Chain A
């Protein structure tokens, strides 16, 4: 997509494909150019949606909060200053705050039912094996939900978002080594929790 409003201040970028622009340049352009913001949106919407989906557990809330995240980002973009952290880390922080407010406004930390959450995995040929796999996933999901909020965040960022420890650190305001340590503690706690329940 090319920009099409011909603004003089950014005229040198007139012929550049927005999809080819490196993120820092795109962010600066997006402060004045709607199409550039559209490109930023397209680059990150899937990740933000996936994060919110696993934090809320349902499509309706995920869509509502994803929309709010991007509208808030648009509003805050003129004041956004690049300080080395990736742009998506800023989006995750906005999404995180909105999810936290969402749970607070409902006065409860919703334990998402696995009936609401579509599970992955191919259907097994053997119904017994399928039932067993389903039961394991239920148990694992419940164990995740019993973990403290920051551990849940970490697991979603690592597995649903496929972020590196460094990227997770940026999103959660921690160092890479702190994330590694938290990740190991989280796996240990999950394993202990599951074993205690005869997993």
Chain B
């Protein structure tokens, strides 16, 4: 196992004690088993540190990724300024196409209904 341990600080036990709030002297006897348990937990769950080689390697990878991400963000921001009018044009074009499609669909439905009414009138005659 390659993890290293950080020396145990009793601060966590003090924190554990404060978590119970203020207690009367008579309650201390009842609290003692909990404080002992908290002390054992603090020993068992002592902080661990990653391997130094792992930390250093990850840092290098993250720095490279951060630089790449920043460069892409800058390029993207530049691109947005450049192709803004084209995007607006595309947006307007999309709205015209959708509107035309809606009108076309409505005309078809009206035509179909008119045809059916016409046929029904012919049959009745």
Contacts and interface: CB of A to CB of B under 8 A. Distances in A.
Interface of A: 30, 32-35, 37-38, 41-42, 45-47, 49-50, 53-54, 59, 62-63, 66-67, 70-71, 74-75, 78, 118-121, 136-137, 140-141, 144, 155-156, 158-162, 164-165, 180, 183-184, 187-188, 190-191, 194
Nearest to A190: B37
Given A50-B48, A59-B2, A118-B1, A38 B19 contact: no
A33 B74 CA distance: 12
Given A119-B44, A165-B15, 7 more contacts: A46-B47, A49-B48, A63-B54, A67-B58, A120-B46, A140-B41, A164-B15
Contact of B48 (A34, A71, A160): A160
B50 A62 contact: yes
6 contacts: A35-B63, A38-B59, A38-B63, A38-B66, A120-B44, A144-B44
A50 B20 CA distance: 26
A155 B3 CA distance: 20
Given A49-B50, A74-B69, A184-B20, A120 B5 contact: yes
Nearest to B36: A191
A3 to B, nearest CB: 12
Interface string B37-81: 110111111111111001100110111011101100100000000
A124 B98 CA distance: 80
A101 B125 CA distance: 72
Interface of B: 1-3, 5, 8-9, 11-12, 15-16, 19-21, 33-34, 37-38, 40-51, 54-55, 58-59, 61-63, 65-67, 69-70, 73
Contacts of A184: 19-20
A127 B54 CA distance: 35
A158 B58 contact: no
A54 B12 CA distance: 17
A76 to B, nearest CB: 11
Nearest to A49: B50
A162 B2 contact: no
B47 to A, nearest CB: 5
B71 to A, nearest CB: 10
B62 A121 contact: no
B47 A161 contact: yes
B50 A71 contact: no
Contacts of B12: 158-159, 162
A70 B49 contact: no
A17 to B, nearest CB: 17
- Max count, chain A CB within 10 A of own CB: residue among B20, B21, B58: B58
Given A59-B2, A184-B20, A160 B62 contact: no
